[in-house]
A = this chain, B = another copy of it.
């Protein structure tokens, strides 16, 4: 019960400013502990990802970075994203070609996403996909990476419409 709530951060009302700060600081700690550099660029991109629990496209990130007089190019964004994805500080939402900040940085194992098609918020779960894993094992398939993206309507949005 408590677990579910925690996992579904995106769909529960919370102090998001605190949420952002906590995640940013967790990212700093994680990088320090792994002897990696959370450079200014990487931090900028992570902060943009953490602005909301909605995924954002690489070119939208780029646009935000270029809001001032800066004129940087796509590779800069993609490289920062590459770093964040590798370290598990962000995730790629395949069905949207977009990216989102990880809400439990440092976690091990696979992640699943609940994507609301109405408010566009994305919640991150951490269940084992047990039945599938068993099926895979039965046919001798060794899972390396999983993409589990469930699109639908979150509780809030159901109320607002129906």
Binding site for B on A (CB under 8 A): 4-5, 7-8, 11, 94-95, 112, 114, 116-117, 123, 125, 127-132, 135-136, 138-155, 158
CB contact under 8 A between A132 and B145, given known A4-B138, A155-B140, A158-B140: no
Instruction: Give A125's nearest chain B residue, CB to CB.
Output: B135
Task: Note all chain B residues with C-beta closer than 8 A to A148.
Answer: 129, 132, 146-149
Cβ–Cβ < 8 Å partners of A8 in chain B: 139
Name, among A143, A147, A155, the residue most crowded by chain B CB atoms within 10 Å (CB to CB).
Answer: A147
Q: Report chain B residues within 8 Å CB of A150.
A: 129, 132, 136, 141, 143, 145-147
Minimal beta-carbon separation of A2 from chain B (angstroms): 12
* Option from B5, B132, B155 in Cβ contact (under 8 Å) with A129: B132
Report B-chain residues with C-beta under 8 Å of the C-beta of A112.
Answer: 132
Asked whether A127 and B136 contact (CB < 8 A) given A149-B94, A151-B143, A152-B144, the answer is no
Assuming A95-B147, A146-B149, is B141 touching A155 (CB within 8 A)?
Answer: yes
What's the least CB distance linking A5 to chain B, in Å?
8
